[in-house]
Amino acid sequence: MTTYENGKIAIVWDEKFEEKGKFFSRISLQTRDETGKATGRIHLSSDTNTFTHPVVLTLSESSVLVAYTKKQERGNEVWYQKVSFKEEASDTKISLK
């Protein structure tokens, strides 16, 4: 969890789910306003692999960096994405770069 732009919050986590009898784990991000109200949510990773251990770092008032582990048979990899935010009315538009 980290803060950006005047106390808004970005939260990341890994969540387990089942797809066609197989279990996977994906990375999700949620934004919240200064009062704690949820304003946006997005899945950062695909639904066909297992991703774990997300961490988030503030880059600017409107962006964060999210890094996480992709689990594989031949060793794990660290993946990362820059996530940008744009406020629209009472919601947050989340874009990936």
Burial tier of 28 (Cβ tally within 10 Å: 0-12, 13-18, 19+)? middle
CB-side exposure of 91: number of CA atoms within 13 Å?
6
The residues that bridge with 88 in the sheet, in sequence order, are 91
Could you read off the pLDDT tens digit of each residue along the chain, which spans 97 residues?
999 998 999 999 999 988 888 888 999 999 999 999 999 999 999 888 899 999 999 999 999 999 999 998 888 999 999 999 987 666 667 776 6
CB 72 within 8 A of CB 78: no
- Taking Cα atoms as reference points, which of 24, 30, 31 lies closest to residue 46? 24
C-beta of residue 30 within 8 angstroms of C-beta of residue 40: yes
Tokens 């890094």 label which residue?
A: 67
pTM, 2 dp: 0.85
Rg of the chain on CA atoms, in Å: 14
The answer to whether 86 and 93 are in contact (CB under 8 A) is yes
